[in-house]
Amino acid sequence: MAKEDFMKGVLYVVNVIYAVFGLVSAATGIWFFVQLTEFVGLRNSNHYLLDYRIYWPQVAPWFFIMLGLFIMMVSFCGWCGTNKESRGMLGIYGIFLILIIIGQAIAATLIFVYVDGEDTDRFIKDTVYDGYYNSQSNPDVFKSFGRIERKLRCCGANDARDYRSWRNDLPLTCCADSYYRATCEFTDKEANERLGCAKVASVYTKIISSSVAGASLLIALVEIAGVILAWKLFKSLEEVEHYIHERKEGETEC
């Protein structure tokens, strides 16, 4: 029984790790979706009435939300199966865990393949450019674009020169501590040194996506250990049940 107790203890810890990772994955997906919605909301919707293409940055948040929720359910199943020493629940747990590992490996591979692709850059840049040009005629979009400039510490779509064609000065959001200053510095030095929001947003998208994909691969290694432990506990319980069954048959014959 000492071996079974050890495996159960390890499985308890492993399933807690799975549950935490699932929660983090779902939270990351929600956060990424909110950030993406903030960008997409800047666009002129009339320009995209006939654009039915779906880009991976639009799909990735939903995938990680669903994956996170599924991982939490599977970890709960593994916890209950371990606690009740149920071979049926452990079997289901192992099968679902294998499916999760395969899904994570495929998703991480696709992200690494497409994260540096032209489609990603085109989607991010087109969204930022459209939002920037829409901000010139829409005060609400201008405020929203300003919030993005503050958040990403960027200026304009390409750089600060974008504003020279239609403004006499740079917006406060292109300057540091803009909440406390009435105007940018006299030379606009800091604003001019900032990168355009299209470049910054594209880089951040790649960094976040690659980090999440890398974390998925790392946790997949832990999940493989979970599958092995679940299988060993499954076989161990089978042996115990077989021994008890044989003993009962022997007592009946006597």
SS3 159: coil
Start-end of H helices in the chain: 2-40, 56-84, 87-114, 118-135, 139-152, 189-193, 197-253
Which residues, other chains included, contact 112 with Cβ-Cβ below 8 Å and sequence gap of 6+? 210, 213
Quick: pLDDT tens for 118-143: 777 888 888 899 999 999 989 999 99
Dist CA 174 CA 184 (whole Å): 8
Which residues, other chains included, contact 11 with Cβ-Cβ below 8 Å and sequence gap of 6+? 78, 79, 82, 226, 229, 230, 233
Dist CA 191 CA 82 (whole Å): 58
Residue 160, H or E segment = none
Domain ranges of the chain: 1-254
Planar angle of CA 88, 91, 93, nearest 5 degrees? 110
Closest CA to 135 of 176, 173, 96: 173
SS3 154: coil
Amino acid (1-letter code) at residue 43: R
Tens digit of pLDDT at every position of the chain (254 positions)? 566 778 788 888 888 988 999 999 899 989 988 988 888 888 877 766 556 677 777 788 888 899 899 999 999 998 898 888 888 888 889 899 999 999 888 888 888 887 767 777 888 888 899 999 999 989 999 999 999 998 898 999 999 889 888 888 888 888 765 455 545 655 567 777 888 999 999 888 888 888 888 888 888 888 888 888 888 888 887 665 554 545 555 555 54
Dist CA 103 CA 110 (whole Å): 11
pTM of the model: 0.78
Which residues, other chains included, contact 166 with Cβ-Cβ below 8 Å and sequence gap of 6+? 136
Q: Hey, what long-range contacts does 31-38 have (CB within 8 A, 24 or more apart)?
A: 32/60, 32/61, 32/64, 32/208, 33/61, 33/62, 33/65, 36/61, 38/144, 38/147, 38/148
